[in-house]
Amino acid sequence: MNKIFTLAGVVIKELYRRKDFYVLFVLTAVLTLAAGAVNFFRDEKIVRYVKDICLLLIWISSLVITIVTAARQIPAEREARTIFPLLAKPVSRGQVIAGKFLGCWFATGIALVVFYFFFAVITGSKEQTWPVLTYLEAAWMQWCLLAIVIALVLLGSIYFAAPSSTSTISFIVVAGILLVGGHLHVIALQQPEPMQTVLTFVYYLMPHLEWFYLSDFVIYDFGRVPLLKIAEASVYAAVWTEILLLLAWLGFRRKNLTT
């Protein structure tokens, strides 16, 4: 385990030496503050618009940080040829995958803490209420989603040649699931066979990332999500993460690192 956590620590240090996180956080802060400063028709519920904008920016920023960071982990090690002394320490390929995953996941978790703290300060200063537990649930669900995304991107980085191609394809897949995934079954019922069966199969086969988006509970103050539902979603995320990491390990184990 020490080797895995050491690798994770290297990934965390690498992320916060780069400017990606700082640029995205400043952009999120500026856009949110600008939105909050506007008083649309003197609407007292302007805080809902601010919440919606801020949450959307947090999701976009965290996905960008996650995908870009995870996509370059294995290819960067291969390109710099540091993968060979790393595996010679000895560190197994499974430990490399686990270390890279934990590093990316912990790093994005730290980023989420910063984003949600800023979110709570801005919205709380306008509403004068602090639904901390609701925010913690939203942040935890988003962090669980990012675990699936990181595992998916690491799997893609094993098979695609460049981080740019891995990032692009990952963005398309994740955006497609978030935007269309929840409606795919309804779309399938409107299609003739065999397309209906194919789309239904895809609907039940893919990870449903949209289930982790708790924006309505935060924006409209619906209160907390029942803990049982949070636990079920957490187990669902853990299962999908383990499946994708297992596939990444199997692919990495067979990968010829000299080509």
Instruction: Report pLDDT digits (tens) over 133-150.
Output: 888 888 999 999 999 999
% of the chain surpassing 90 pLDDT? 17
Instruction: Report pLDDT digits (tens) over 99-129.
Output: 999 999 998 888 888 888 888 877 777 666 7
Among 187, 167, 185, smallest CA distance to 72 is for 167
Burial class (CB in 10 A: 0-12, 13-18, 19+), 108: buried
Joined together, the tokens standing for residue 74 give: 């294995």
C-alpha 67/C-alpha 163 separation (Å) is 10
Are the C-beta atoms of residues 119 and 58 closer than 8 Å to each other? yes
Torsion of CA 248, 60, 183, 234, to 10 degrees: 60
pLDDT for position 2: 74
Instruction: Report pLDDT digits (tens) over 212-231.
Output: 888 777 777 677 788 898 99
C-alpha 107/C-alpha 162 separation (Å) is 22
| Least confident span in 42-56, 60-74, 101-115 | 42-56
Residues in contact with 224: Cβ distance below 8 Å, sequence separation at least 6, in sequence order: 133, 134, 137, 217
pTM of the model: 0.87
* Residue 38 pLDDT exceeds 60: no
What does the pLDDT average to over 14-35? 70
Between CA 233 and CA 239, with CA 237 as vertex, the angle to 5 degrees is: 115
What are the distances in angstroms from CA 169 to CA 59, 79, 92, 163, 209? Answer: 18, 20, 28, 10, 16
